[in-house]
Structure 1
Amino acid sequence: MSFSGKRYKRTRHENLEEFLNATNTNNELMRTLEKASPIFGYTKLDDTTFNFTLEAEGRHMSFNFTLGEEKEVERRDGEKVKVVFTKPSDNVLNQKITMPDGKLVYFSREFYGNEAKMIVRMDDTDVQATIYYEAVE
């Protein structure tokens, strides 16, 4: 599991604006997602438990999760969502988020050494975004 303990920073994205428009994302969150260059990381704590950290715009969030178990977390905009992580292979970590309105958002993060790619899609839209990251010190 080459990604454990590394931190990744967004370097570029494809279709992010189109995705946010298609999913009716609120304007404040849309500005944050388009302009911020968040740094995230996962650290393996045991066979099924991980710690997730996210740093963006001077804010830091961190939480532990167990693969396959639903967890309620607070997003950067203050909304509470339900999150489930799964790990279908050694270099892929999937995340399903149930939004307050019940819609589902899917994130698939693929890790390749010092690079990562995240594909984001949402129910009821055929638009998806791809976001690229590089490991940082």
Structure 2
Amino acid sequence: MITLQNIISPRGILEQKMSFSGKKFRRVRCENVEELVKAANINEHISRILQCSAPTFCFTKLDDETFQFTLQTEEIQYTKNFRLGEELEMERRDGCKVKITYTMEGDNVLKQMIKQPDGKVAYFRREFGDTETKMIITTEGTNIQAFIYYEVVE
């Protein structure tokens, strides 16, 4: 469950801050990824990223509707700002362009819908706790879920 930190703003107004904002997470284990990859006929490059890669990621809240997403691997650091509910185009690590929409569910669930160039849609649901995150991945056309678990690294 997410913890909200109370903060007094310069104007003296009590505000709430999401506890996951600004924290870096790294994958510690996964379940069912191989099964989902096979059932959804996911390309080999994306399959390797989901199963083998362990980048760190961070979501930082910039204002009520805007976040900054940072993904860091051994080779690159990628940063992109996005507004909740607005579709944006992003380039995957394999160079392919996808359309992504982020939404929040409550204060501790960040949902991501990714439209692939071939028309397939994937859904990523990140459930944030104080020191861990569970990401649930589903794709249209299958009833299989994959789970990736992350822990705070900083």
Q: How high is the TM-score relative to the length of structure 2?
A: 0.86
Match of residue 51 from structure 1: 68
Question: SS where residue 21 of structure 1 aligns?
Answer: helix
Q: Cα deviations across residues 13-44 of structure 1 (Å, max 9, x unaligned)?
A: 01011111111122222223211111111000
Contact 1:36 / 1:57 at 8 angstroms: preserved in 2?
no
Match of residue 104 from structure 1: 121
Structure number with larger C-alpha Rg: 2
Q: Cα deviations across residues 105-133 of structure 1 (Å, max 9, x unaligned)?
A: 11110001010000000000111101100
108-117 or 21-30: bigger deviation? 21-30
Q: Where do 4+ consecutive residues of structure 1 move more than 4 Å?
A: none
Residue 103 of structure 2 corresponds to residue 86 of structure 1: yes
Residue 147 of structure 2 corresponds to residue 125 of structure 1: no
1:22 pairs with 39, 49, 71, which one? 39
Structure 2 residues without counterparts, runs of 5 or longer: 1-17
Question: 1:122 & 1:62 partners in 2: Cα distance?
Answer: 25
Q: CA RMSD in A?
A: 0.9
Question: SS where residue 25 of structure 1 aligns?
Answer: coil
Match of residue 51 from structure 2: 34
Question: 2:29 & 2:144 partners in 1: Cα distance?
Answer: 17
Question: 1:83 & 1:2 partners in 2: Cα distance?
Answer: 24
Instruction: State the Cα distance separating 1:57 from its structure 2 match.
Output: 4.0
Evaluate the alpha carbon distance shift between residue 68 and residue 113 of structure 1 in structure 2; reply closer, same or farther with a 3 A threshold: same
Question: 1:37 & 1:22 partners in 2: Cα distance?
Answer: 22
Question: 2:116 & 2:94 partners in 1: Cα distance?
Answer: 12
Evaluate the alpha carbon distance shift between residue 31 and residue 53 of structure 1 in structure 2; reply closer, same or farther with a 3 A threshold: same
Q: How high is the TM-score relative to the length of structure 1?
A: 0.96
Question: 2:151 & 2:136 partners in 1: Cα distance?
Answer: 15
Instruction: State the Cα distance separating 1:100 from its structure 2 match.
Output: 0.5
Question: SS where residue 127 of structure 2 aligns?
Answer: strand
